[in-house]
Structure 1
Amino acid sequence: MGFTTLVEEYRGGTLENIHYGAITIVDEKGKILYKAGNPDHVTFLRSAAKPFQAIPGMKRRIDEVYGLSGQEAALFAASHRGEAFHIDALESILRKTGIQEEGLHCCATYPLNEDAKADRHRAHEPKRKIFHNCSGKHSGLVALSKHMGWDERTYYKPEHPVQKEIVEALAYIADVPAASIPQGIDGCGLPIFALPLHKIAYAYLKLACPDLIEDAPTRDAVARMARLMNEYPDMIADTQFVCSALLKDSNLAAKGGAKGVYGIGLRKERIGISLKVSDGSEQVWPCIIASILEHIGYDNKDTINRLYALVPNTIVNDGGTPVGERRAVFTLEA
């Protein structure tokens, strides 16, 4: 697969764990500037696809059609972790659109945020579909289907018009033939797509720099979705997660997905970054991303510091005593 060592973890000075993976950085023509591992490695985007899955709805301005707030529309691209303000916004979306929670294809679950989950357990609340981290995306797709007169019950099927439009939008932005994109089924039950890492990086560059997109309706939809992600970063994940931490930086367009995949676009530098951690770990994302930003000389130190604050490189035991360290050890080859 062309993976290389990205992060090593030491306990008491002894190497305990290694995280392998690959990193790719591209310019505005899609040319590979830096790499660690194989930039042609094909991986599913998982939730890193959400900003692109929102494009058909943003093209039709369904947020305006239903009178949604910016916070609510941001959930179309979110992997929200079920904090109270997420659930309040989702319930508002359901009210405004007239969608029934039971009509969402994602399963009922509890929030990913541990404090939010504990709150629901203490209140003896059952699992709900809007607690699912993908429920914002599902709500947006059902709302679009309702607006367009498409079958709302089958919006999750690959042959549904909304799913066909999603594939076409992603293919256009990543500059690949739609027929060449491998598909599977994501954890939430929707179709999901795989791309080479350098194409994921290219797509995220365009998310950050939509002026690179020739088609005006697509360009406008991408620009609006990216702007909402930066304006309401805590809606995209939660107050203590890497996606929200990165999106607080207005220069970045960023979103991660399950099994260790991540995409970032940088507006001022006009580059796209993608990475894949082969064991699927999300815990090492901050270490890797901060190291990439340091390598390219990124000048917003607050962003880098936020990443290290989320998951410090110092490893502590259950009592909080330092017992080891985490090191980014990859080299980005020009």
Structure 2
Amino acid sequence: MIDPDGAPLLSLGDATAPMYPRSSLKPAQAAGMLRCGLELPAADLALAAASHSGEADHVRRVGELLARYSLTEDDLRCPPDLPLGAEARRGVSVERRIAMNCSGKHAAMLATCVINGWSTADYLDPKHPLQVAIAETVVELAGEPLSNTAVDGCGAPLFAISLTGLARVFQRLVGTPVGDAMHEHPWLVAGTDREDTRLMGAVPGLISKIGAEGVFAFALPDGHAAAIKIADGADRPRLPIATGLLSRLGVEGVSDLAEIPVLGGGEPVGAVRLIPGALD
């Protein structure tokens, strides 16, 4: 966790070691697209930074974004998938690219290529002008060079930075078009009862974004920011740790998010919660 001046406030483990932020880096990728000339309404910009659940309105909006630039679902290069969550999957039996949680980002990447006259078939190539520009934006926002470039689950380039660098990214996105769009449309960033939806809805001005393998990052309007990576890749501890950090900063209204229920036979039998003193 860093203070408004960027100085470390709390560090558990090695916060300077390279790691893969996974989808927590999507807001930075969206910022890179804006620097390439992409112009989107706030709702679509939130979708560009999203790991959406693939609910009906998510899919509809991605389709409309593609159509606006004379693109179709076939132009997407993210893998086909089902929506996230049992409720969103109800009645859906066919995997589709547009239902994949990263389709908003991919649609925005394609739109950025169209307006710049860049090729769309190879937009995921790390050497493509789009991805080069996005990488430059990540470096600037993180305040450090990339440690490595790999491939994310959706097929897009995945940039390795430190947890401290990821916290800086979120700190610098507060008050920008991307940060404002995320907070204005948290449901589009995630979906019904998802972590980001709940946290951004509970804390005025906060922006947050989960990532696979236990990654979570957030920033407050006052400049405090934090990045979390669970070493074993588990997701359940993310929200309790985030709420613990926010409580440490004096943020109210997050106590209802501090526990994650553990189910047995479909019924609550326990909870994942932060151990008192764990952040001391």
TM interval, short-chain normalised: over 0.9
> Of Structure 1 and Structure 2, which has the larger fraction of its residues in strand?
1
Amino acid at match of 1:286: L
Instruction: Give the aligned partner of residue 260 of structure 1.
Output: 214
The 4+ residue runs of structure 1 with deviation greater than 6 A are none
Instruction: Give the aligned partner of residue 109 of structure 1.
Output: 81
Instruction: Give the aligned partner of residue 233 of structure 1.
Output: 186
Instruction: Give the aligned partner of residue 318 of structure 1.
Output: 265
2:15 to 33, 39, 44: 39
Shift of 1:128: 1.0
1:154 aligns with 2:137: no
Report the secondary structure of 1:34's partner residue. Answer: coil
Give the whole-Å Cα distance in 2 for the aligned partners of 1:314 and 1:100: 40
Shift of 1:332: 3.0
2:143 to 150, 175, 187: 175
Distance change in 2, residues 1:204/1:198 (3 Å): same
Give the whole-Å Cα distance in 2 for the aligned partners of 1:263 and 1:319: 30
Give the whole-Å Cα distance in 2 for the aligned partners of 1:54 and 1:241: 20
Shift of 1:281: 1.5
Amino acid at match of 1:45: P
Of 151-160 and 110-119, the range deviating more from structure 2: 110-119
Instruction: Give the aligned partner of residue 284 of structure 1.
Output: 237
The root-mean-square deviation of aligned C-alpha atoms, in Å, is 1.8
Shift of 1:276: 0.6
Instruction: Give the aligned partner of residue 189 of structure 1.
Output: 155
8 Å Cα contact 1:27/1:272 also seen in 2: yes
Shift of 1:314: 5.0
Shift of 1:313: 4.5
8 Å Cα contact 1:260/1:276 also seen in 2: yes
Report the secondary structure of 1:119's partner residue. Answer: coil
Give the whole-Å Cα distance in 1 for the aligned partners of 2:250 and 2:19: 28
Distance change in 2, residues 1:256/1:314 (3 Å): closer
Shift of 1:130: 0.4
Give the whole-Å Cα distance in 2 for the aligned partners of 1:138 and 1:313: 31
8 Å Cα contact 1:293/1:304 also seen in 2: no
Give the whole-Å Cα distance in 2 for the aligned partners of 1:115 and 1:323: 22
Give the whole-Å Cα distance in 1 for the aligned partners of 2:269 and 2:24: 33
Aligned pairs, number: 278
Amino acid at match of 1:88: R
Of 147-156 and 26-35, the range deviating more from structure 2: 26-35
Alignment gaps of 5+ in structure 2: none
TM-score, scaled relative to structure 2: 0.93
User: Which structure's relative contact order is higher, taking Cα pairs within 8 Å and 6+ residues apart?
Assistant: 1
Give the whole-Å Cα distance in 2 for the aligned partners of 1:257 and 1:182: 17
Alignment gaps of 5+ in structure 1: 1-24, 211-222
Distance change in 2, residues 1:325/1:77 (3 Å): closer
Partner deviation per Cα, 1:183-230 (whole Å, 9 max, x = no partner): 11000001011111111111111112x5xxxxxxxxxxxx11111111
Instruction: Give the aligned partner of residue 279 of structure 2.
Output: 332
Shift of 1:254: 0.8
Instruction: Give the aligned partner of residue 242 of structure 1.
Output: 195
Distance change in 2, residues 1:284/1:238 (3 Å): same
Shift of 1:113: 2.5
Shift of 1:323: 3.1
Give the whole-Å Cα distance in 1 for the aligned partners of 2:225 and 2:49: 18
Report the secondary structure of 1:54's partner residue. Answer: helix
Partner deviation per Cα, 1:131-154 (whole Å, 9 max, x = no partner): 110000000011000110111111
Identical aligned pairs, as a percentage?
30
1:83 aligns with 2:36: no
Report the secondary structure of 2:192's partner residue. Answer: coil
8 Å Cα contact 2:237/2:273 also seen in 1: no
Distance change in 2, residues 1:155/1:314 (3 Å): closer
| Structure with larger Rg | 1
Report the secondary structure of 1:139's partner residue. Answer: helix
Instruction: Give the aligned partner of residue 71 of structure 1.
Output: 43
1:98 aligns with 2:64: no
1:58 to 34, 40, 55: 34
Instruction: Give the aligned partner of residue 142 of structure 1.
Output: 110
